[in-house]
């Protein structure tokens, strides 16, 4: 299959408007794990997405302490170089010891260099298409030094593009003084909308590609979530401790999913696809990262790549967000 593509900032990469997110397939072996996963199903999900036109995968070294990268490598092992999807991964979150539950946010040049070599080994590739600093570091390393290191890695041929994740405008301005970034990865959904106020306009103005993560808010806007599913989450699934998945916030979020369901019926599509397409309607958003743990879940959102929401759809979603008071941030696309 062929899906629509868009140029990712100044990278030269034309990427499909949805990409495969490999957070959940990392398993349970880290603080933000999604519970136990079946690696065979994960591999099948990745291959299914690629076969249906998705041309990029986003993972990170921290997902499952490297396990997600290993699963991605396994899924791509039989795909020739000419047909291989772009591989994006991240650095900057490491553990001081095997006994630590939470990783530290590290941005030192030495750590980034160690991490990129480890990711290349796990992914079994010679160059990473987009390498991203996962979070602003908390080890005292100036952002400028971390970004400069990423540019050095590009000059050395280890990475193709420079990216950051979870940066605000002030940090993007500081990064600009060290060569700038090609891509930003922020959280964005109909529930978590704050980046639409200032970050998306900034990126659009400065030609920074944007790939948003969690457009379905980690499953809440998938159309398949329920209060019972929240109650049944295993102890090793990070969502069990998230306030979005409990209490009044959960009630509001599920009501918003029902509004998206009304829009989905108009287009004979899924709630998940509407949730993702809503984020893609914003000016400045290049593409969205969408996770899956089995092939059937890919089927649930792949149509977002070609779904064009109407003015009526946008109006109804805006009214629903405002009425429910769900989440925070602008409630209408600016595109």
The answer, yes or no, to whether residue 92 has pLDDT greater than 60, is yes
The answer, yes or no, to whether residue 291 has pLDDT greater than 90, is no
> Looking at residue 246, what is its pLDDT?
66
Q: Which residue has the higher pLDDT, 200 or 80?
A: 200
**Rounded average pLDDT over 131-139:** 96
> Looking at residue 91, what is its pLDDT?
98
Q: Which residue has the higher pLDDT, 241 or 272?
A: 272
Neighbours of 317 (CB within 10 A): 24
The answer, yes or no, to whether residue 128 has pLDDT greater than 70, is yes
Active site residue 63: yes
**Rounded average pLDDT over 61-75:** 94
The answer, yes or no, to whether residue 289 has pLDDT greater than 90, is yes
The residue among 28, 7, 20 whose CA lies nearest residue 49 is 20
**Lowest-pLDDT range, 7-11, 167-171, 223-227?**
223-227
Categorize the per-residue pLDDT at 221 as very low, low, confident or very high, splitting at 50, 70 and 90: confident
> Looking at residue 47, what is its pLDDT?
96
Among 63, 86, 131, 213, the one annotated catalytic: 63
Q: Are strands 287-291 and 18-21 parallel, antiparallel or unpaired?
A: parallel
**Rounded average pLDDT over 163-180:** 97
The answer, yes or no, to whether residue 223 has pLDDT greater than 90, is no
For domain 14-324, give the fold: TIM Barrel (3.20.20)
What sign does the CA torsion over 18, 20, 30, 126 have? negative
What does the pLDDT look like over 27-61, one tens digit per residue? 665 556 556 688 999 999 999 999 999 999 999 99
**Rounded average pLDDT over 210-215:** 95
Query: Are 24 and 62 within 8 A, CB to CB?
Result: no
Average pLDDT value for the chain: 90
Burial 59-68 (b: 16+ CB within 10 A, else e): bbbbbbbbbb
Query: Are 57 and 72 within 8 A, CB to CB?
Result: yes
The answer, yes or no, to whether residue 64 has pLDDT greater than 80, is yes
The answer, yes or no, to whether residue 125 has pLDDT greater than 90, is yes
3-state secondary structure the chain: CCCCEEECCCCCCEEECEEEECCHHHCCCCCCCECCCCHHHHHHHHHHHHHCCCCEEECCCCCCCCHHHHHHHHHHCCCCHHHCCEEEEEECEECCCCCCCCCEECCCHHHHHHHHHHHHHHHCCCCECEEEECCCCCCCCCHHHHHHHHHHHHHCCCECCEEEECCCHHHHHHHHCCCCCCEEECECCCCECHHHCCHHHHHHHCCCEEEEECCCHHHCCCCCCCHHHHHCCCCCEHHHHCHHHCHHHHHHHHHHHHHHHHHHHHHCCCHHHHHHHHHHCCCCCCEEEEECCCHHHHHHHHHHHHCCCCHHHHHHHHHHHHHHCCCECCCCCCC
């Amino acid at each position: 299959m062929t899906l629509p593509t868009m140029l990712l900032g100044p990278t030269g990469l034309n990427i499909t408007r949805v990409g495969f997110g490999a957070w959940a397939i990392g398993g349970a072996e880290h603080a933000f794990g999604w519970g136990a996963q079946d690696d065979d199903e994960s591999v099948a999900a990745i291959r299914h997405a690629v076969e249906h036109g998705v041309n990029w995968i986003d993972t990170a070294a921290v997902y499952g302490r490297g396990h997600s990268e290993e699963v991605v490598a396994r899924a791509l092992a039989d795909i020739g170089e000419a047909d291989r999807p772009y591989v994006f991964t991240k650095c900057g979150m490491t553990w001081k010891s095997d006994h630590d539950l939470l990783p530290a946010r590290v941005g030192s040049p030495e750590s980034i260099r160690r991490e990129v070599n480890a990711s290349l080994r796990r992914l079994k590739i010679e160059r990473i298409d987009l390498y991203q600093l996962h979070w602003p570091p908390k080890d005292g390393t100036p952002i400028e030094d971390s970004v400069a290191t990423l540019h050095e890695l590009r000059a050395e041929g280890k990475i193709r593009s420079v990216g950051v994740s979870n940066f605000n405008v002030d940090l993007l301005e500081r990064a600009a003084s060290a060569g700038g970034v090609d891509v930003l990865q922020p959280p964005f959904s109909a529930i978590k909308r704050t980046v639409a106020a200032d970050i998306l306009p900034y990126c659009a103005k400065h030609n920074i590609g944007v790939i948003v993560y969690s457009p379905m808010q980690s499953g809440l806007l998938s159309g398949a979530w329920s209060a019972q599913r929240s109650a049944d989450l295993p102890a090793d699934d990070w969502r069990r401790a998230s306030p979005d998945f409990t209490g009044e916030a959960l009630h509001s979020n599920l009501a918003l999913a029902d509004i998206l369901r009304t829009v989905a019926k108009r287009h004979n599509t899924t709630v998940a696809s509407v949730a993702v397409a809503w984020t893609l309607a914003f000016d400045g958003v290049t593409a969205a990262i969408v996770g899956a743990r089995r092939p059937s879940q890919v089927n649930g959102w792949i149509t977002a790549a070609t779904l064009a929401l109407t003015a009526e759809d946008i109006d109804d979603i805006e009214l629903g967000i405002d009425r429910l008071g769900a989440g925070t941030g602008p409630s209408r696309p600016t595109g």
